[in-house]
Structure 1
């Protein structure tokens, strides 16, 4: 090699333009989805909610048995739009997980695009960091905006529309708070890890989506136990007071013990008073979370989901580092020239 020759180096790809060009379809779909849901939630907060509230005001003003005119279509329209929009918002984490497993990582591992990027001077660790950083920011901003607008629309109409969902209704509870944002980030990390594990598009999609579903169910089960409950005792002739997120319920005995409820009902039901007398029961108890526990429940569950997302991300980087380290071939060591023979030395 001529010492004056300069070595030819392959330029490193510019990360942001490369990512935008590579995932342009997914970015377009995400932007369109966020835009449509934003406009829908603004309509619920404004004209749709106002029309439904007027319809309920007309309905409550009806008296007597005569014909009553009220805007039933506005009431039904708001109810349907609220239901569909709420499920769309809480469904975003599963969409993110499926996309991350299939398109973000799984397809690139299967097609060899990831290995091609690594040969252009982009290390595997930097490749994965770039893969996760930009989508994580877009997912956090998009879901955060939609959750905020959903909470504002629900809060503006909860006392005006008779069919408004309660704060502890499960879809409303998650669509109104940061647990959906945290679950979306966990879904992104789960999809990326699934793509690195299976290295194929369809299995990574199914695995990332399935793990996010399991995580959502686990979060729902854990949420009521992440904050101390409030216990309320009512008389045997009253029954339970159904409000808030229930954790446990049953009968209270004369000695203060909590026992299982046989399910008979209040004492005015035939035979129930005699049954409770045999059990030495004096009332019903119910352990639950009132509305004042809304933010403690939201924040503790969000922290738990973010911890899981961080654990999945660390696991993905460790897996990538280990898998790429085993595939690297060590650089060949130079072989020394053989010693000259006697004949070659004599010459």
Structure 2
């Protein structure tokens, strides 16, 4: 008679793992259903703006560039005609579309503050979710993760198409915006994606802090506006600048691009601010002689620094957004300690 060798028991998952995973998946589906109108509006906004940006980068740019070639060929001939409406149409459409893309982070912030967390806490929907095997931390993680994915895709598409539209006109349209124009720079690359995520984080935090829709909406928009302003002020200093030295004479310090600093260099090699009388004017010679100025200098960012400044600006914005998310989780943990205790005792 042979004995049957005992078989090792199969490893089992913790009993709470599968229900929690199902609860998180259920919450994500519920979130998409709950915010379906906002989802459709976001998709429609992205599609409309994308189509308009493609129109701008294609037919509008070609027509405006042809009109500028006609204008340049006219020279001093006052009777020469050119397609001025095409130039004006391109200018207006570019301006309006730039403002529209620029407004995306503010729209995300307003929605996140008023609806994503503010309204759910105000109406008790969030507390109901916490009783459905979803901890407050998991609830907030899902609340942020799903919109963040949609915002990243949509804002990334708009930022990329805006950059294509601007690139199409660069060098072909005389009145095209410079690469360092604040609105053009902030909407034409990964920076707009990072700022949209900052708006999402600001809205989530404001909703948790106020637990009311309207104050959270206003706070999130103000925080996002502050992030825009601070990033624009810090932009020239986020990457090492180039320096151009030019001789004293008529005009100002040479060097195009995004300016950082300028002035004069003295005979000792020291830097000195430009005299208040102006640069290169005859009556300023005495002021130059007084400080022993020998040349101008200008610290600036040329166009070759464009992507470096884009990436560093986006990184700074993402760090700020990450700090807002961390504060949101800390605030939620402090305010829902009792909820977790009740869940553990019920288990």
Structural mapping, 1:303-342, within 5 Å: 303-326=315-338, 330=342
Give the SS at the match of 2:74.
Answer: coil
Counterpart in the other structure of 1:264: 277
> Cα deviations across residues 327-347 of structure 1 (Å, max 9, x unaligned)?
5665999xxxxxxxxxxxxxx
Deviation at 1:242, TM superposition (A): 4.8
Residues in 1 aligned to 2:325 and 2:344: alpha-carbon distance in whole angstroms: 34
1:180 aligns with 2:192: yes
1:246 aligns with 2:259: yes
Counterpart in the other structure of 1:221: 233
> Cα deviations across residues 81-100 of structure 1 (Å, max 9, x unaligned)?
00111121122111111110
Deviation at 1:265, TM superposition (A): 2.8
Give the SS at the match of 1:309.
Answer: helix
Deviation at 1:109, TM superposition (A): 0.7
Confirm or deny: 8 A CA contact 2:206 2:220 kept in the other structure: yes
Deviation at 1:21, TM superposition (A): 1.6
1:112 aligns with 2:116: no
Aligned counterpart for 2:88 among listed residues 76, 92, 95: 76
The alpha-carbon distance between structure 1 residues 18 and 275, as it changes in their structure 2 partners (threshold 3 A), is: same
The alpha-carbon distance between structure 1 residues 23 and 279, as it changes in their structure 2 partners (threshold 3 A), is: same
Structural mapping, 1:283-322, within 5 Å: 283-322=295-334
Give the SS at the match of 1:227.
Answer: coil
Structural mapping, 1:39-58, within 5 Å: 39-58=51-70
Residues in 1 aligned to 2:209 and 2:61: alpha-carbon distance in whole angstroms: 46
The alpha-carbon distance between structure 1 residues 72 and 226, as it changes in their structure 2 partners (threshold 3 A), is: same
Q: Structure 2 regions of 5+ residues with no counterpart?
A: 1-18
1:35 aligns with 2:47: yes
Aligned counterpart for 2:147 among listed residues 130, 135, 148: 135
> Cα deviations across residues 123-154 of structure 1 (Å, max 9, x unaligned)?
21222111111110010000100111111111
* Normalised TM-score (structure 1): 0.88
The alpha-carbon distance between structure 1 residues 66 and 305, as it changes in their structure 2 partners (threshold 3 A), is: closer
Task: Choose between structure 1 and 2: higher helix proportion.
Answer: 2
List structure 1 runs of 4+ shifted beyond 6 angstroms: none
Residues in 2 aligned to 1:266 and 1:189: alpha-carbon distance in whole angstroms: 46
Aligned Cα root-mean-square deviation (Å): 2.0
Residues in 2 aligned to 1:180 and 1:24: alpha-carbon distance in whole angstroms: 24
> Cα deviations across residues 68-117 of structure 1 (Å, max 9, x unaligned)?
21111110000010011112112211111111011111011111111122
* Normalised TM-score (structure 2): 0.88
Stretch of structure 1 that moved more, 12-21 or 123-132: 12-21
Deviation at 1:26, TM superposition (A): 1.2
The alpha-carbon distance between structure 1 residues 105 and 330, as it changes in their structure 2 partners (threshold 3 A), is: closer
Confirm or deny: 8 A CA contact 2:275 2:284 kept in the other structure: no
Deviation at 1:30, TM superposition (A): 1.0
The alpha-carbon distance between structure 1 residues 283 and 56, as it changes in their structure 2 partners (threshold 3 A), is: same
